Structure 1
Amino acid sequence: MFWRFSCPIGGIAGECSQASPKKFSARNTLHIDQELAPQDLLPAIQRFWALSAKKISSLNQDYDATLGSPVFTVKGRYTTRGWTEWTQGFQFGSEILQFDASGDESFLEMGKKHTVEKMAAHVTHFGVHDHGFNNVSTYGNLLRLMNEGRITEDPWERNFYEMALKASGVVQARRWTNLPGGGYIYTFNGPHSLFADTIRSLRSLAVAHQLGHSMMTESDVEISLLDRLIQHAKTTAEYAVYYGDGRDAYDLWGRTAHESIFNVNDGKYRCPNSQQGFSPFTTWTRGLAWVMVGAAEQLEFLSIVDEAELVPHGGRLAVEGCLLKMAKASCDFYIENSAADGIPYWDTGAPNLHRLGSNYLDRPADPLNDWEPVDSSAAAIGAQGLIRLGRYLQDSDAADSKRYTQAGLTVLRTLLDEPYLSTNEDHQGLALHSIYHRPNDWDHIPSGQRIPSGESSMWGDYHAREVVLLVDRLANDQPYLKFYI
């Protein structure tokens, strides 16, 4: 049974109230292995980290940094793509995660050096909504390792990481559009634009708030970063995610819009949109995956926030209830709309999916088909969301906890093997068959094929490392991997 929390469209922005429970029944096309345990994946995990080390070293040796941040591979070599600078934190964060997993201090020194030399501009980058990607993946991971006692305690080094994270949280929170009763962090498209993926940049606001920081504006008005985090999360839950309540003719439980458009003159919601998906009324699966992991990890964070800090937003039940509804809906949609092995196609409404046959989701995904590409990066991100939601529910809902956890482990098992794990040492990518921007035709199509395949992305590789590290720690009974302090 799923507890539904209504987020009425047309009411106060971000207002979520508890509703009567409704039953929700999904058709699971993802063939969930109910017996799979984290320990069962350890041999594949060890192989993964060995390959990961070689990929990182190859990138450092061969990539021309003067071209900009590496974004995705073309014929197995990392290249850049000018849009916004949102992937460099994944590059250097991967080095830090490699140390975390292996204990090889050469990767720690690599990650520290690159963070100091290259990441300052990202801390003060006012033009993007990606601070949770760039800065928590670098400064945040280093601070986490110091807090865990994995790296030597040093007051100056700690202060350096903390100051960067404080500044990053405020810079991110400054990109703000007010709505009646709420608001959201707007995207590089402008103040009218809310992206589903920005929910993962709430990491930066959470850490900065935990470090005791807030945003000071004109006349010394102090703005709580926690308040902005909660308001953005509620707005995302209300407008970017659908719950089968009849908002439009295509309203399904868990369907996700990549972009939500608002009239900034009066704060009214206007329509869904999509930048990287097929249409406003279909679900771009990487956007779906950002919601899955963003909602789940914010539930983890909010569970340690003092009740008094949640009272202005209706209290713990209202705040966590709204995010739990969003997390469950998005994870259910992923389970129902992924192929049998847990890999999704790039958009659930892509125009040529019907050419794959009526039962294409009932068999493993085919990354080499002639009609529509899969997206392994969505799988890497989504797997983490499933596992985190499962863990969050372990003390309150055993059945759902197991369902989500086992689904996440099943997806990860697929990613840890060919054809998704890149075993060719000449290929700089780690997770194969990632898609960046299908509508813009940015992804490489190999000779003799009709659709993109066989390439990797910096976000896909990083999130593969992140979810593998999460499960690696679970399997070895090590401290739970979390972004917050």
Structure 2
Amino acid sequence: MHKISLIIFILGFACLSACKSKGENKKSHGNEMEIDSLLQKRFTRLLDYNIDSLAFPRSYSYKTGEIKKVSSRDWTSGFFVGNLWQIYAITGDEAYKERAEQWTPLIEREKDNGKTHDMGFKVFSSFGNGLKFNGSPYYEEVLIQSAKTLSTRFNDKIGSIRSWDFNKDIWQFPVIIDNMMNLELLFEATKLSGDSLYHEIAVKHAETTMKNHFRSDGSTWHVLDYDTISGQVRMKVTHQGIHDNSAWARGQGWAIYGYTMAYRYTKDQRFLNRAKATADFFINHKKLPEDGIPYWDFDDPNIPNVSRDVSAGAIVASACVELYGYTRNEAYINYSKKVVHSLKSIKYILPPENTIPFILDHSFGDWSKKSEMDEPIVYGDYYFLQTLLRLRVEK
């Protein structure tokens, strides 16, 4: 049996007592071995979940006591598959690889779905990890076709990939900061196929977003709407934040991660500078709690009596490991280690008796719909696992 304690040894953590924010009572949550056992138990819960092409686990509702299950069309479908691949990489346990290989093909139908910009989230999180940890030409073919489909949403006049197709009575050509994450699929498709078009589209989208999406303090709006005739910005809103000018925590994470990743593929200093500016805004924010797990929106007027967002903290932690590799700025790697340290405590890890196929609690979904607020959500787990893997390499 492979033990998670190996990871902790490599990361050099001598203690995994929980980090608490100001005003909270501090108490021990058990020794390192107990936390290891708890994390291993959570991994097993994912393995126990039954395979069903219409039931990718997305989140868990405490109100209804039910797992929210989605089809491959949902933007979150690829994360559960990616979690299985990453747990295999962490533990070396072939059972997770076998289960990942069973789940992954259930996403394939999305490779021709041109009605969504979320191709990277769905296909790269699943097939991309499959290619990394399996190497099958089949995975390559699906990734390339998915990139080809995604590229059809690019508008040359605007210089961006269209995000959403809803609210057509309000928006002409909406582009969300989340869309930066889907560029990884395009960059990788050029490496796999030799076709430079995907790379060129990704660069142009990143340039347009960098020009228009950011405020002077380094933070970002969520949604920009462009005029389809002039190509100019029509409006700037933060659809899933507390208000239009707020710093929605997960949106800042998408920006930091997206531009760090764009720098990886291009070595364009502008992209690295953009990632650094937004990372600095985030990790140095006066309203960031001591344990590194942000409130769901930095501008919620009810802080500190509002929900945290584990997913935002995990996204930024993962990005900051890579950002540290390019800058050697200790503040970035320290933030990543702090977040992992916090998330391995029982304040955030789900208890062993909870049988749902998730690892972490306290992620935050969509304020605009008042849904998935302070619940286990699959992408929080995904970026937590990715951070563990990245820290193992960046020692």
Aligned match for 1:138, one of 123, 126, 145: 126
User: Superposed, which structure 2 residues align to 1:297-336 within 5 Å?
Assistant: 297-303=261-267, 320-336=268-284
Which residue of 60, 66, 78 corresponds with 1:73?
A: 60
Indicate if the aligned counterparts of 1:115 and 1:138 stay in contact, CA closer than 8 A. yes
Contact 1:165 1:208 in 2 (8 A): yes
- Equivalent residue for 1:227, pick from 191, 200, 208: 200
Q: CA separation in 1, counterparts of 2:71 and 2:47?
A: 24
Q: Contact 2:348–2:361 at 8 Å: present in 1 too?
A: yes
1:189-268 pair list within 5 angstroms? 189=166, 192-214=173-195, 224-242=197-215, 244=216, 253-268=217-232
1:208 to 1:96, Cα distance in 2 relative to 1, 3 A: same
Contact 2:42 2:352 in 1 (8 A): no
Contact 1:97 1:466 in 2 (8 A): yes
Question: Aligned letter for 2:276?
Answer: K
The residue number in structure 1 matching 2:46 is 56
User: Quick check: 1:169–1:204 contact (8 Å CA) kept in 2?
Assistant: yes
d(CA) in 1 for partners of 2:126, 2:82: 5
Change in 2 beyond 3 A, CA 1:47/1:381: farther
| Equivalent position of 2:22 in the other structure | none
**Aligned partner of 1:423 among 351, 367, 372:** 351
How far off is 1:346 after superposition?
0.8
The answer on 1:114 being equivalent to 2:103 is yes
Q: Which amino acid aligns with 2:57?
A: P
Structure 2 residue aligned with 1:465: 385
In the alignment, the residues of structure 2 paired with residue 122 and residue 379 of structure 1 have an alpha-carbon distance, to the nearest angstrom, of 28
Residue aligning to 1:18:
none
The letter for the 1-side match of 2:254 is W
The equivalent of 1:187 in structure 2 is: 164
Deviation readout 1:32-82 (Å, 9 max, x if unpaired): xxxxx9322795885565133222024337xxx475432211136521379
Cα shift readout 1:280-300 (whole Å, capped 9, x = no counterpart) = 210111111111111112212
Preserved CA contact (<8 Å) 2:311 2:383: yes
2:362 equivalent in structure 1 = 433
Partner-residue secondary structure (3-state), 2:367: coil
Larger CA Rg, structure 1 vs 2: 1
Query: Counterpart of 2:324?
Result: 390
1:87 aligns with 2:76: yes
Matched position secondary structure for 2:234 = strand
Instruction: Give 2:338's aligned residue.
Output: 410
Aligned residues of 2:104 and 2:126 also touching (Cα < 8 A): yes
Q: Percent identity?
A: 24
Q: Mean Cα displacement is larger for which, 187-196 or 433-442? A: 187-196
Partners of 1:129 and 1:188 within 8 A in 2: no
Structure 2 counterpart SS, 1:347: coil
SS of alignment partner, residue 156 of structure 2? strand
SS of equivalent residue, structure 1 residue 435: strand
1:352 aligns with 2:302: yes
Is the partner of 2:89 in helix, strand or coil? Answer: helix
Aligned residue type for 1:261: D
Question: What code does the residue aligned with 1:417 have?
Answer: S
Distance 2:118 2:133 in 1: 22
> Which of 109, 112, 120 is 1:124 aligned to?
112
Give the superposition deviation at 1:461.
Answer: 1.3
Deviations 1:384-421 (A, max 9, x none): 11121111113xxxxxx211111221122111212112
Give secondary structure in 1 for the equivalent of 2:244. Answer: coil
Amino acid at match of 1:107: Y
* Residue pair 2:314, 2:383 contacting (<8 A) in 1 also: yes
User: Is the contact made by 2:72 and 2:122 (CA closer than 8 Å) also made in structure 1?
Assistant: no
Is the CA contact 1:184–1:231 (under 8 Å) kept in the aligned structure 2? no
Q: Deviations over 1:102-160 (max 9, x none)?
A: 111111111111112x111122221111121111122111211245xxxxxxxxxx221
- Amino acid across the alignment from 1:51: K
SS at match of 2:236: strand
- The separation in 2 between residues aligned to 1:275 and 1:139, in whole angstroms, is 30
Q: Does 1:175 align with 2:148?
A: no
> What residue in structure 2 maps to residue 162 of structure 1?
140
* Segment of structure 1 superposing worse, 339-348 or 47-56: 47-56
TM-score, normalisation: structure 1? 0.69
Alignment size in residue pairs: 361
Unaligned runs of 5+ in 2: 1-9, 16-31
1:289 counterpart letter in structure 2: G
**Residues 427-484 of structure 1, C-alpha deviation per residue, up to 9 Å, x if partnerless?**
52211101111231213xxxxxxxx54x200111111111112223445xxxxxxxxx
Task: Give 2:347's aligned amino acid.
Answer: P
Q: Say whether the 8 Å CA contact 1:89–1:133 is kept in structure 2.
A: yes
1:277 alignment partner AA = G
CA, structure 1 residues 234+403, in 2 after alignment: closer, same or farther (shift >3 Å)? same
Name segments (4+ residues, structure 1) moved above 2 Å: 41-49, 57-61, 65-70, 75-78, 80-84, 177-180, 182-191, 472-475
